[in-house]
Amino acid sequence: MSDIRHSLLRRDALSAAKEVLYHLDIYFSSQLQSAPLPIVDKGPVELLEEFVFQVPKERGAQPKEQTKDSVRQIIFSSLFSPQGNKADDSRMSLLGKLVSMAVAVCRIPVLECAASWLQRTPVVYCVRLARALVDDYCCLVPGSVQTLKQTLSASPRFCCQLVTSVTALYDLSSDDLIPPLDLLEMIVSWIFEDPSVLQVLMMLQVHLTEKNLYGRLGLILFDHMVPLVEEINRLADELNPLNASQEIELALDRLAQALQVAMASGALLCTRDDLRTLCSRLPHNNLLQLVISGPVQQAPHAALPPGFYPHIHTPPLGYGAVPAHPAAHPALPTHPGHTFMSGMTFPFRPIR
């Protein structure tokens, strides 16, 4: 009956119903030759329900499909998992062509396999695949980035893993390692359409707390923030003569938002002094100053007093309090006093 069902699945509803009745005629005719009262087993009944009465097949068939997906993943992994030998270059070259083709024809099973591969493969190989895709869709043929952009609806998991790999690829250390504009615009559009690349940090605090790792396991290395802040500072210096104050302020707002979420969720572990030193050369920004100096009201934590980052080793400065030396910073504007809640989002201004 399983072979008959697979054949019926390829037909339209009317011809499938006719085919079911034809096969049942043959089936019961054969049964009557051996017994005066044939036994109607489960197989024919299921075919009638699915293709004549249009009742969807029950979830009992799902384990077979899941097994098929598992086999596909295992085969993909055995083909393309790096082995540390001479075959890795050929393996990576073929993988790049395969995934690039899967993007072009929107082949979801291959994209899902590639997403799993990117998730469990060392970063040095992930960036090679990311580089191949960026070259194919952002550099070689103008406008082809639209094809890559459309994969978000087909495989969000692949897009998420690709963004992670692209982040590792472009470390801003040289002109060659600055992402192309088409790629940046595509990633921004992905994030606007599906902000769950971002919301993972908001969920992180719960998971770290459950495992008693909150404030003890940093997932974002402070050393990785240094070149990012230095690059923002360099770009701000370049844009300053061009009357781009609004663009600079927006970039600093985005940096402040990212720092706030990363610290409040426990993903970024650093002291306030480290943060002040890191951001000291950046142009003044109200939101950034608030994140650096203002207290954050945390949810109750068994081992820590409220109002402290669990990973901040110096007490937070009183936000809105009168400074000890008010004349020391006459140029800095004052901020209205209010409680700064970690769960509250910052005012959002869309990129224009």
Angle of helix 13-34 relative to helix 2-9, nearest 10 degrees, comes to 160
The chain-wide mean pLDDT, for the chain, equals 77
pTM for this prediction: 0.56
> Mean pLDDT over residues 84-107, rounded?
92
Which two three-digit tokens encode residue 205?
């605090």
* Range with the poorest average pLDDT among 4-8, 109-113, 177-181: 4-8
Indicate whether 321 belongs to any domain: no
Same domain? For 120 and 252 the reply is: no
The answer to whether position 335 is within a domain reads no
50 pLDDT tier (thresholds 50, 70, 90): confident
Decide which of 59 and 187 is more confident.
187
Chain position carrying tokens 């992994």? 77
Rounded distance between C-alpha atoms, residue 171 and residue 234, angstroms: 14
Tell me: the pLDDT tens digits for 262-307? Answer: 888 888 888 888 888 888 889 999 999 988 886 544 444 444 444 4
202 and 230 together in one domain: no
Q: Are 200 and 135 part of one and the same domain?
A: yes
Q: Look at residue 349 and tell me if it is in a domain.
A: no
Looking at residue 36, its pLDDT comes to: 63
Mean pLDDT is lowest, of 134-138, 160-164, 192-196, 252-256, for: 192-196
Same domain? 144 vs 125: yes
By C-alpha distance, which of 202, 346, 208, 210 is closest to 288?
A: 346
Instruction: Please indicate whether residue 14 or residue 342 has the higher confidence score (pLDDT).
Output: 14
Whether residues 254 and 206 fall in one domain:
no
- Does any domain span residue 236? yes
Q: What is the pLDDT of residue 157?
A: 93
Decide which of 191, 211, 231 is a domain's last residue. 211
| 105 and 205 housed in the same domain | yes
Do 90 and 119 belong to one domain? yes
Domain count, the chain: 2
Shared domain check, 289 and 187: no
User: Does 342 map to a domain?
Assistant: no
The pLDDT value recorded for residue 311 is 45
Question: Do 113 and 10 have their domain in common?
Answer: yes
Q: What is the pLDDT of residues 7-36, one digit of tens each?
A: 888 788 888 888 888 877 787 777 777 766
pLDDT average, residue stretch 112-137: 94
Comparing 20-24, 86-90, 157-161, 319-323, the range with the smallest average pLDDT is: 319-323
Domain span holding position 200: 1-29+69-211
Claim to verify: residue 25 and residue 139 sit in the same structural domain: yes
> Is 306 domain-assigned?
no
With pLDDT > 90 as the criterion, what percentage of the chain qualifies?
25
Nearest to 231 by CA among 271, 272, 175: 175
